[in-house]
């Protein structure tokens, strides 16, 4: 089995571009609109939404842009991402204003690194 894409929610195309393109280095492949009727049938959401598809070699992410100001509730759901240099990535995320959670491992051998996009979606960053 191979995953085709992941879909998440955001409040802003600008914030999504900053996070997925500037920080994660993904390309904006295309966008489309899902009608209110189809959104209601599939997701029980009574709102037309723009969807942006961001791509990299390994992963595609569909970001649904909401017209309403919505915030992510507390969640343990997250995507794991493997990158080459977490220390450099950590500094870049901080410089872009991304919410960064860095916790030293109890054994003293490294750290856990989680980031949240501007909507509150959580990503675990591994090396």
**pLDDT, tens digit, 9 for 90 and up, residues 67-77:** 776 666 667 77
For residue 65, name the pLDDT band (cuts at 50, 70, 90). very high
Residues in CB range of 57: below 8 A, 6 or more apart: none
Question: What class, spelled out in words, does domain 6-68+77-126 have in CATH?
Answer: alpha beta
Q: Considering the entire predicted model, what is its pTM?
A: 0.81
**pLDDT, tens digit, 9 for 90 and up, residues 89-105:** 999 999 999 999 998 98
For residue 44, name the pLDDT band (cuts at 50, 70, 90). confident
Phi, psi of 91 (to 5 degrees): -65, -40
Beta bridge partners of 33: 50
Which sequence spans correspond to the domains of the chain? 6-68+77-126
């Amino acid at each position: 089995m191979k995953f085709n894409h992941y879909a998440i929610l955001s409040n802003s195309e600008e914030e999504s571009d900053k996070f997925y393109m500037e920080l994660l280095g993904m390309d904006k492949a295309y966008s489309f609109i899902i009608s209110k009727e189809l959104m209601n049938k599939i997701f029980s959401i009574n709102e037309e939404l723009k969807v942006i598809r961001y791509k990299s070699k390994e992963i595609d992410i569909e970001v649904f842009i909401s017209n309403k100001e919505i915030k992510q509730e507390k969640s343990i759901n997250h995507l794991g991402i493997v990158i080459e240099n977490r220390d450099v990535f950590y500094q870049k995320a901080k410089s872009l204003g991304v919410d960064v959670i860095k916790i030293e491992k109890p054994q003293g051998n490294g750290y856990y690194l989680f980031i949240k996009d501007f909507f509150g979606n959580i990503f675990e960053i591994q090396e």
